[in-house]
Amino acid sequence: RAIRLSEYQNPAFLVQDVSLTFRLDPHATRVFSRISFRRNPEGPGGPLRLDGEGLRLIRAAIDGTEVQPKILPAGLEIDAPDAFTWEAEVQIDPKANTALEGLYMSNGMYCTQCEAEGFRKITYYPDRPDVMAPFEVRIESELPVLLSNGDPVERGDGYAVWRDPWKKPAYLFALVAGDLVAHSNGFTTMEGREVALNIWVRPGDEDRCAYAMDSLKRSMRWDEDAYGRAYDLDVFNIVAVDDFNMGAMENKGLNIFNARYVLASPETATDADYARIEAIVAHEYFHNWTGNRITCRDWFQLCLKEGLTVFRDQTFSGDERSHAVKRIEDVQMLRARQFREDAGPLAHPVRPTSYIEINNFYTATVYEKGAEIIGMLRRLIGEDAYREGCDLYFDRHDGQACTIEDWLKVFEDATGRDLAQFARWYAQAGTPRVTAETRIEGGTLILDLAQSLPATPGQPEKAPQVIPLAIGAIARDGTEVLPTAVVELTETAQTFRFEVGTDDAVASINRGFSAPVILDQTLSAADRALLLAHDTDPFNKWEAGRALARTALVDMIVQSGAPDRHFVDALGPVISDNAQDPAFRALALALPSDDDLAQALTDSNATPDPDAIDAARTRMQTAVATAHEGALDAVYDAMKVSGPYNPDATDAGRRALRNAALSLLTHVDGGDRARAQFAAADNMTDCLAALSALIRTGQAETELQAFHDRWQNDRLVMDKWFALQIAGAPGETGLAVAQRLVEHPAFDWKNPNRFRSVIGALGMNHASFHARSGGGYALVADWLIRLDPLNPQTTARMTTLFETWHRYDVDRQDQAKAALRRIQSTEGLSRDTSEMVSRILGE
Ligand code: ARG
Ligand code: ZN
């Protein structure tokens, strides 16, 4: 049942042209296909095999003659000549499609999700990314808006025809039909093409599209400037859908989005929502070249398009906002999701070598570590060579389905550099650990570096990787004595020397987080405070503060000590130094999350106690607030933003710092400021910040009720209402809140966003999910068991809440394993969920 990379075979048949007709009906949609096939001279031979799942075959013909193919469990098979036209008529039931894969209905609208293997639920087809063809699609329906890929060809009474001239794999097919309205605009490409841009939403939502549209236009310009890539059709459509398993999908010319990543207004969306919309609109748009024009040969190569496209969207957001802040946020995310994955039973290489269900490999490792690899490549070869290699990639591989080898080869050809060792980043799972020992002798900084890579499931032995580390040094008086230089660690252990001209300096290693590694560097609290105050590299400046906080909190938890003065004092300048970017200061003021601390404790061979972690964080926040109350109050006033709401990085940064101050001050003011801010807020950022501060105090009942009453008819805002009170509840109390909210009439658990905002939010509340009683594990298991028969993909994804079970004490381990076994032994459990659960259990 496992699919293996080593067993890849070329397709037996290639497709020259596809023509589809959809006669839409909620329970009985008819799909007519007419496909011209030609035997692949490089294929394995044999009969025609087509993928198909849950289809009712009405009629099939080859070159006009009706045939009776052999129906297989997941497709059909028939002998066929070397070139022929296949015709089929199938019937499907979109309304009964609760898995949200293939053609389904959401709020009366038809939509599709085909990546990775959803097209086979629409009609019989070679549903694999290396079979590419132009598509023509005719949609028959009385619904007012009928959309598919490519450019519109014809519109008549009750039908529309679309043609996509660009060859594409079936996973990029899309169809939408519904009662929708457009927010429209236009863009002229650098090649002079006039492109009509539309964002399609349900009536009433059209005034929430302006930011997504603006993000789209900036993305289009950016891809031209940064990569020389222009858009290639006359229309670009985006559709917002309420029921969606993932964030969004890059279907050619017709991107389909989870509504939460499109719709925004100041009253309903936070600054973080705006930033995410910008990033996801850019991500899906950038796929047009990295994913669509050049796609993946097979699903093992998923990181070819995803790692690269994430890297591109991260660079775009950095260019549009602040590279320093974006890098810190991205690394926080990487550590929270990817390092966590790499450290547990689900660890897998960026390019996996086998899978049972490919949907289970849309992971932080493939996406985020995949992006880190591109960043390292660019750092190793330099920006100009990177751009040259990319140009060669687009030139050489346009219209093809490629592999990681193809990708690396263009950089070898552009630079003459051997990337064989670099390629290990794609093949070896696990987060490398780099230990750094530094000393200074006669003005020379001597750096002893060693690397190791832990064993991961299926990979006991590892070889050294090439690790680019950006290094600098700061003298005791705060001046930089070594500007950033990049060393390449290629051996298990290596020594590097730098002239620094002083005997008292502190090395700043892995600046900009130049490599996704865990750095073990023994630094005193004073050295860290020096870097926090004076490092010229903003990432390492933040990192120094983060390490101080982490060490201080771990000490509090393990030795039940008092909050460390070094750390508390070091925050003084962070709060008050107005020369520094407010957004950066907000990040530096935030403490590591409970989950980060649980991992830090695990790394130092301690067993994390969720209550103790939560209590220590609260004590530390109170200590910081008490020590700096005056300065926090001053910054709270000074950062007030006046004038109409603007989601740009400057205003968002001020709000972030102000709300970070608010969150600390709420520990000492009894919630007065938060209650006042909640009452006065005219935007969702300030409103939610106040509400979440109050929720931490356990006294937010009035405000939660008011919020509910105001927003009860707004799905996206109500998702926040559910999530915040569960995820933000103090200690174990989030469990009781979740137990109460699953009974709430608005808990529409079949909607993935709502399911995540209740069940997912419980999983995000560390102390509550890991409650000693085991009630957190049990509640999540109950709901995963309930959701699985309807929506295996979302269920399987959410089992990752359990991936850290091995960190905790034996009682908790037993409770978590019992919950996992209960899921596992459910009758008829989906392939998706059963693969995940057995991997998590280490079977
Ligand atoms: N390609 C989409 C994106 O990264 C994600 C689609 C994920 N779909 C899935 N079935 N796992 O933008
Ligand atoms: Zn993507």
Q: What percent of the chain has pLDDT over 70?
A: 100
**Measured distance CA(259)–CA(240) in Å, rounded:** 4
Which of 358, 362, 830 has most ligand 1 atoms within 8 Å of CB, for mutation?
362
What DSSP designation does 203 have? T
Tokens at 30, concatenated: 């008819």
pLDDT for 1: 87
pLDDT digits (tens, 9 = 90+) for 207-217: 999 999 999 99
Contacts of 599 (CB under 8 A, 6+ apart): 339, 340, 343, 804, 807
Would you state the structure tokens that stand for residue 388, as one six-digit string? 């040259």
The pLDDT tens digits for 301-358 are 999 999 999 999 999 999 999 999 999 999 999 999 999 999 999 999 999 999 999 9
Q: Which of 114, 115, 284 to mutate to test the pocket of ligand 1 (most atoms within 8 A of CB)?
A: 115
Tell whether the torsion through CA atoms of 83, 87, 92 and 94 is positive or negative: positive
CB 836 within 8 A of CB 359: no
**3-state DSSP assignment of residue 300:** helix
pTM of structure: 0.99
Residue 417 forms beta bridges with which residues? none
Amino acid 820: pLDDT: 99
**Cβ of 362 below 6 Å from ligand 1:** yes
Compute, in degrees rounded to 10, the torsion defined by CA atoms 380, 386, 388, 390. 130
Residue of the nearest CA to atom 3 in ligand 1?
249
The predicted model gives 807-835 an average pLDDT of: 98
Rounded CA gap, 278 and 296, in Å? 25
* pLDDT band, residue 561 (cuts 50/70/90): confident
Residue 600: per-residue pLDDT: 96
Kindly state if the Cβ of 246 falls inside 6 Å of ligand 1: yes
Q: Which residues partner with 355 through β-bridges?
A: 3
Whole-number Å distance, alpha carbon 4 to ligand 2 midpoint, is 22
Name the band, by pLDDT with cuts 50, 70 and 90, for residue 560: confident
pLDDT tens-digit map of 704-750: 999 999 999 999 999 999 999 999 999 999 999 999 999 999 999 99
CB of residue 306 inside a 6 A radius of ligand 1: yes
Distance CA 514, CA 518 (A): 11
Ligand 1 centroid – CA 441 distance (Å): 53
Taking residues 86-108, report their average pLDDT.
98
Compute the distance between CA of residue 268 and CA of residue 281 in angstroms, rounded to an integer.
Answer: 18
Q: Which ligand is nearest to the CA of 306?
A: 2
Q: Helix 582-589 and helix 565-576: axis angle, to 10°?
A: 160
Q: Compute, in angstroms, the gap from residue 368 CA to the centroid of ligand 2.
A: 11
Complex ipTM, two decimals?
0.98
Q: Give the separation between CA 418 and CA 64, rounded to whole angstroms.
A: 53
